[in-house]
Each structure stands twice: as structure tokens, then as C-alpha cells.
Amino acid sequence: MDIRYFDNAATTRVKKEVLQEMLPYFSELYGNPSSIYSIGRQSKRAIEIARERVSKLINCKPNEIYFTSGGSESDNTAIKGIAYKLRKNGKHIITSKIEHPAVLNTCKALENEGFNVTYLDVDENGKIDISQLKNSISNQTILITIMFANNEIGTIQDIERIAKIAKFNNIVFHTDAVQAVGNVPIDVDKMGIDLLSLSAHKIYGPKGVGALYVKNGINFEKFIHGGHQEKNKRSGTENVAGIVGLGKACELSKKYLREHIEKLKYLRDYYIQKIEENISDMKINGHRDDRLPGNSNISFINVDGEVLLLKLDALGICASSGSACNSSSAEPSHVLTSIGLTEDIAKGALRVTFGEDNTKEDVDFLVNSIIHIIKQM
Ligand SMILES: *Cc1c(COP(=O)(O)O)cnc(C)c1O
């Protein structure tokens, strides 16, 4: 059976060119980047090329990139790293109710250590309440962390505006841009972002590697102690092959960004249009315009999203009923309840996220399958 993959927000398939560049670092080029002989130096050079490629994608300096094990570690490092560094100045952090668990649960852990966290509300489209943000700021606030784009409903926040508010109040600003990188043009310099998290496996790179951008001049507490790698901020022998893969994925993302966005938008809009034409009992979740090009999230009224998902799976279709992390739990997604959906409507949600490999024919197959299954139910 053909697999038709519509879960690109959960992970993506590693591109051939990415894998090709990675392979030698598993075999002949196995030197430790800290070693001074030639195969060590070659590994070191490969890491620095990757660092430059990552930096170009978000327009920062190479020395502002720290490699990590992925988006979750980048989020943890950013939030705890700033919180511990600045705890003498204040213990208040502002975030939103719809963050990824890597942010939400890090903030919850900090609450147990005596920090105060404000979780901002979002409106029915998933945008944070800017006036609530302004009103929440006090002289104790040390960090604002708001995701660039949401992994479930695709809503893109007004990052530049939020960054300005943070800067005006002299507060460090971090954004989890794991979903946005490679899908939205990002310029950390122009946008005023202090720290940004990204992950390779969401942009056609390998799992288990990511990066944290930290603007020069912003100091953060290290998270992993050891042998001084990554400017002594993230010790441990580098995941050379993974880092090379991340670098290549970033290079390709930058090169093809415009075409990529066009293609995903086309598939997404075609899908939504077909669903709207054929199914009346539905509701589109997330922002109509300010949303990731490849994201759709639609609630089918009086339909159990989990059952729909299983029936789609039987036809070789991979999609998601909410966040991938939550797909085994029966609780409705915190994101969908935060935008005001009732439990029933939240449970009827189907997240379909498009990627490079999808074709219009795949979308036709998907739409016909959904129509067929819903008619039966
Ligand atoms: C996937 C994801 C993460 C976690 O990244 P990993 O590399 O899987 O740890 C964090 N935030 C968002 C928004 C994500 O989509």
C-alpha cells in the first residue's frame, strides 16, 4: 500500500541531498572535531560550514549559533539559561497558553523553583493578546517566550511587534521557531529576536539535532557541563553527522524557500477548498491568513478525530488529530481549548500538514477518503 504522508508538522523525511552529505561522517570521516589531526580537523570544518549555513537561514552571525539535540533542548536551554542567569533581576516569565510542551513544561518546572509565569490567552484565531502582554510586564519580568508559529493550528504571531515590546521594556525575548523556520522568511536581526529555537527534523533534516540562536551580548547559563564544546555552553562531542545534516537542510531551505512556500500554500488551499465544497459540518481552526503555508486544521462536527485518523491510517494516510505528542491521550489539545473550542469540536479536529513530497493527486485521494469515511460515520 502506498503511504501518503500529511504529518509534516510532526516530522519530515530526510532529503536525499541531506543524507548524502551526512554519510561520510558515519564512515571514513569519523574524527573527533576536537582532535588536531586531519580527520579531526575535517569534522571541525564540517561543523563550522554547517554553523554558517544555519546562520544564513535566519540572518545572524555564525558565532550566535549553538548546536543542540533538537527543538526541545533549545527551548529548555533558552528558558532555563536566561531564567538562571537573570534570577537576581527578577523571577517573572511571560509565555502563552498555546506553546509547545517543551516550553510549557519548562516554565512549569521553573514555577516549582520559585519563578512566576504568566500564560497569556489567545483569541479565537490563536493570536496572543497584545494588551494582556503589555499589562503583564512588571519590573520583575526577565523573559518573554512566545512561539513564532503554532504546531497544531499554524497561527503565526506578530513576532516583530512582540519583540519590540520586549526590547522597549528591556526584557529578553525568545521564540520557539521550530515550525516557522524553513516555512516563513526569518530575519532575527530585523525582527529583534534575542534567542530562537530550531530543529532539523522539521525541515527535512535528521532527528536529534537542532540549534539555538543567541544574540551576541546575551548571556545564558549553560545547561550541559563538560569538555567545553560550543564555546563551553553545550559540552559533549558534537553530533557531527547530524550537524552536517542540519546545515544542509538549512542551506536547501534558504535556496528554495519561495518555491516551497508557494507549493505548500497551493496544496493547503486546494485541500481546504475541496473540504469546504464537500462537507458542510466543519470548522477551520487557526488564523485564515497568518498561518503556516503547509498547515490545515479542520474540526469535523460530530466526528471523532481519533476514529477518523485510524480509518485514514487503514488507507495508508498519515495525519494527526492534534499535536503528535498528544495523539495517544484522550484529552482534547490545550491549543484547541485555548482558542475556545468545546471539547466535542476539539475532538473532531484533523491536522493535515503538507510537505515537499505531496502532490495534488495525494490531496485528491485524501479528500475523497475523508468524504467517504465521514459519510459512513
Ligand atoms: C517539534 C517541535 C518542538 C520539539 O522539537 P524536537 O526537535 O522534536 O525536540 C518544539 N517546538 C515546536 C513548535 C515543535 O513543533
Average pLDDT over residues 275-297: 97
Give residue 331's pLDDT band: very low, low, confident or very high (50, 70, 90). confident
pTM tops 0.95:
yes
Question: Which of 14, 95, 178 has the most ligand 1 atoms within 8 A of CB, as the residue to mutate?
Answer: 178
Q: Residue 43 C-alpha to ligand 1 middle, in angstroms?
A: 26
Give Cα 352 distance to the centre of its chain: 16
The string of pLDDT tens digits covering residues 168-205 is: 999 999 999 999 999 999 999 999 999 999 999 999 99
Which residues, including other chains, have CB under 8 Å from residue 151's CB and lie 6 or more apart?
9, 100, 178, 179, 323
Catalytic residue among 107, 250, 318, 325: 325
In this structure, the residue with its CA closest to atom 4 of ligand 1 is 71
Q: Residue 152 C-alpha to ligand 1 middle, in angstroms?
A: 11
Q: Is the distance from the beta carbon of residue 147 to the nearest atom of ligand 1 less than 6 Å?
A: yes
Average pLDDT over residues 303-324: 89
Q: Residue 332 C-alpha to ligand 1 middle, in angstroms?
A: 19
Report d(CA 114, CA 84) in Å as an integer: 11
Q: Residue 325 C-alpha to ligand 1 middle, in angstroms?
A: 10
Residue 2, pLDDT > 50, answer yes
Residue 323, pLDDT > 60, answer no
Alpha carbon of 188 to those of 45, 56, 64, 103, 354: distances in Å? 25, 10, 11, 20, 25
Residue 328, pLDDT > 70, answer no
Q: Nine-digit cell at 60?
A: 545572524
Report d(CA 363, CA 339) in Å as an integer: 27
Count the neighbouring beta carbons within 10 Å of the beta carbon of residue 168.
Answer: 10
60 is catalytic: no
Average pLDDT over residues 229-246: 97
Which residues, including other chains, have CB under 8 Å from residue 149's CB and lie 6 or more apart?
155, 156, 157, 177, 179, 180, 183, 184, 291, 292, 295
Atom nearest to 70 CA in ligand 1: 7
- Among 49, 62, 18, CA closest to 188: 62
